[in-house]
Structure 1
Amino acid sequence: MVLDLSTHTLTLKHPFTISRESHSTQDTLIVHLSMAGETGYGEATSNPYYGHTLQSLLSEIRGIRDEIESYPFNKPEDFHRWLREKNLSSFALCALDLAAHDLYGKLQKKPLYELWGTSTAKYPITNYTIGIDTIERMVSKMKEKPWPIYKIKLGTKEDLEIVRELRKHSTSVFRIDANGAWTASQTIAIAPSLKELGVEFIEQPLKADDWEGMERVAHHSVLPVIADESCLVESDVARCALHFNGINIKLTKCGGLTPALRMIKQGRELGLKIMVGCMTESTVGISAIGQLLPQLDYVDMDGPLLISNDIASGIKIHDDARITFPKIGGSGIQLLL
C-alpha cells in the first residue's frame, strides 16, 4: 500500500458552541491508502477535549509509515487488528481503519453496506444540530435550515426557555444534548417539561463518569437517555446498558468501523437503541457513517451541512433529508481537492 496524509481546515457556517467549548473552524486529517489503482480515504478531526491535535495524529501515523506501506493488506478487520498492536490513539486508528474499509470496498467494487449484507431501502434521518447561542440566534439558525429533526445543544442557565422558544417556530422532532452539563436532579426535574415540548430523548445529561447519578436518571427520567461521552469504546457498552436506553457511537472515539460494528451488535443484544454520531467531519468521515445507516435507530451525520468548504464527495444529504448513496465501492469517497 501507499500511504499519504493531508490536513485541512473546515470552516463552520456558524460558530459551534456546546456546554464545554466553542469553535468556528475544525481541523481534520485525511488518510489516503492506495493499491491496485484504487485509493481509500479516512478521516479524524482534531479534538482538544480528548487531547488530539493534527500534529499528534500526524506524528503517530508517520511513525509507522514504513510498516503500513509494507503491510500485506487483505481485509480491513485484519489490518485493524494489526494496527491495534501499534498503540495508536483511537483517532489515528479510526482514520486508518476508515481508509482501509473504503479501499477494500473499492477493490471489491461494492459499497460497504452491501458487503455487510444490509440494504439502504430504509434508514434513519440525520438530525441537524443547533449549537448553544443566544435564543434569538438559535431560532435564526433553525429557521435558516428547515429540518425534520433537530439536535439542540444545551447546558445554560436558560435551557428550558430555549426549548420553549424554539418549539414556537417548529413542529419538528427535538433531541437534547447537554454534553454532561446537568446533574441527576436537574435531568429528572426538566425531563417532563421537555417531553411535553416534543423532545424525543436526552443525550449525555451527566458527566461521563457519574454512574451513580445516571442510575438515578435511568430509574426516574420520563425521557429515554442516550450515552455519548460515557460510551467511548467496546468495553463501555455493557455498563451503559445498565444506565442508559441507548448509545451514541463515535467512530473516532472507538477506533473506526471495525469496532463500531461490534459495538452495534453488542448493543443490540443488550436491548439498547443504537445511534452513530459525528465530530463535525467532512463528507469523508460522514460517508463512512452512512454505510452503517441500515443498522441504526438514530444518526447524527450533519457535519457537511454545518461546514462551508466540504472537501469530498460521497454520501449526499439533500435539503429534504433524503440521502443519495454513492455508486462506487467502499464508502464511495472521492476528494475534491
Structure 2
Amino acid sequence: MQIQAKPEHIPFAKPFRIARGARTHLEIVRVTITDGEQAVEAECTPYARYGEETASVLAQIERVIPALAELSAQQAKSELQTLLPAGAARNALDCALWSLIARQAGSQFPSPYFQLQPALETAMTVSIGTPQEMARQARDYVAQGATLLKVKLDADNIVSRVAATRDVAPDARIILDANESWAGMDLPALFDALAPLEIAMIEQPLPAGADDALQCFVHRIPVCADESCHTRADLAHVRSRYEMINIKLDKTGGLTEALTLKEAAQQQGLAVMVGCMLGTSLAMRAALPIAQDAAVVDLDGPVLIGETGKDVLTYRDGQLIL
C-alpha cells in the first residue's frame, strides 16, 4: 500500500461560535491510500482541546506509514489499533482502511458491512449569540424542516437563550451543549430552571476530569458525556455521572474502536449519541454505521462549514438523506 497525508484549509461560509470561541475556518488532515488498483480517502480534524494540531497529527501518521505499508489492508487496520493512540491521526488511517477493504471486496463503504437507513434525523446546530440571534438561527432551521436542534451555550444568559430558541421552535426536540463551561454553577437549580423548556439532553456541562458534581443530584434532564468519554476505558468513570455518551470518530481513533465503544456502552445501559468535529461529508460518511440506532445523531458538520461541491451529503427537512 501507498499512504499519503496532507493538510487542507477550509474557510467557513459564516463564523461558528461555541463556548471556547469563534471559528472561521477548518484545518483537516486528509489521508489517501492506494493498493495499485484502488484509491480511497479519509479525513480527520485535529482538535486543540486534546492537544492536537495539524503538524502533530501529520507526524503521527508519517511515523507509522512504513509499518502499515507492508501489510494487507485488513492486517493494517488491526495493527493500527496498537501503533497509535486514540485520536485524529488514527481515525483518518482507520477509516481509510475500512474504505479500502470495502473496495477490495468489490463494494463501496459502508457496504457490504453495514446496512444504512435511507434517512436519519440529524441535529442542526445553533451557535452562540444573543438570544435574538440564536432565535433567528433556530427559526431558519425550523423553516427548513429541522426537528432536532443542538443549542451551543457558555455560562452566560443560559435560560434566556434557550427560552428564545424554544419560543421559535415549539415542536422541535432541543439538546444543549455547554462544552465544559458550567463549572462553579448551581447545576440542580439550573436544571430545574431549564426543565420547563422541555430539554431532551444536556451535553458535557462540566470539564472532563472535574465532573464529580454530576453524581450528587438527580438529573431532571439527562446528561451526555462528550469530552469525558473517548474510548471504552472511560466507561467506568462515565457510568455514575452520565446517562449518554457522544461517540466521535476523532476521539475514538476511528470506526473500529467506535463500534466496540458503542456496543459496550449500550450493554452498560448508556444511551448513544453520534457526533462529529467540524468536517466534510467524507468524515460524516465514516460515522454513519454508528448513527443507525443512535438515540441522537449530530452529523451536520458540512452544513456548518457551508460545504459545496461533488460528493456532498444531502441535508433536507432536518434529515441526512442517504
TM-score (norm 2): 0.91
Counterpart of 1:166 in structure 2 is 165
Counterpart of 1:152 in structure 2 is 151
How far is 1:244 from its partner?
Answer: 0.8
AA at the equivalent of 2:53: T
Among candidates 315, 318, 322, match of residue 318 of structure 1:
315
**1:20 pairs with 2:30:** no
Give unpaired runs (5+ residues) of structure 1.
326-337
- Separation in structure 1 between the aligned mates of residue 211 and residue 302 of structure 2, nearest angstrom: 34
Among candidates 86, 90, 94, match of residue 87 of structure 2:
90
AA at the equivalent of 2:23: H
Contact 1:97/1:256, CA 8 A, preserved across alignment? yes
Counterpart of 1:238 in structure 2 is 236
- Separation in structure 2 between the aligned mates of residue 118 and residue 268 of structure 1, nearest angstrom: 19
Q: Aligned to 1:132, what secondary structure does the other structure show?
A: coil
C-alpha offsets along residues 101-148 of structure 1, whole Å, 9 cap, x if unaligned? 111122223455554454526x65110111112223222222333321
Q: How does 1:1-337 map to 2 (within 5 A)?
A: 1-73=1-73, 75=74, 78-88=75-85, 90-116=87-113, 118-120=115-117, 124-146=120-142, 147-171=146-170, 172-183=172-183, 186-216=186-216, 219-310=217-308, 313=311, 316-325=313-322
- Separation in structure 1 between the aligned mates of residue 252 and residue 281 of structure 2, nearest angstrom: 19
- Separation in structure 2 between the aligned mates of residue 223 and residue 71 of structure 1, nearest angstrom: 48
Task: Count how many residue pairs are aligned between Structure 1 and Structure 2.
Answer: 318
- Separation in structure 1 between the aligned mates of residue 318 and residue 58 of structure 2, nearest angstrom: 34
How far is 1:293 from its partner?
Answer: 2.1
- Separation in structure 1 between the aligned mates of residue 66 and residue 106 of structure 2, nearest angstrom: 27
Contact 1:9/1:28, CA 8 A, preserved across alignment? yes
- Pick closer, same or farther for the CA change 1:202–1:62 going to 2, 3 Å: same
AA at the equivalent of 2:301: G
Q: Aligned to 2:246, what secondary structure does the other structure show?
A: strand
TM-score (norm 1): 0.87
Contact 1:226/1:244, CA 8 A, preserved across alignment? yes
Give unpaired runs (5+ residues) of structure 2.
none
AA at the equivalent of 1:150: L
- Separation in structure 1 between the aligned mates of residue 309 and residue 297 of structure 2, nearest angstrom: 21
Q: Aligned to 2:316, what secondary structure does the other structure show?
A: coil
- Separation in structure 1 between the aligned mates of residue 66 and residue 310 of structure 2, nearest angstrom: 27
C-alpha offsets along residues 255-295 of structure 1, whole Å, 9 cap, x if unaligned? 10000000010011001101111001111110111232223
Contact 1:60/1:88, CA 8 A, preserved across alignment? no
Q: Aligned to 1:304, what secondary structure does the other structure show?
A: helix
Q: CA RMSD in A?
A: 2.1
- Pick closer, same or farther for the CA change 1:23–1:117 going to 2, 3 Å: closer
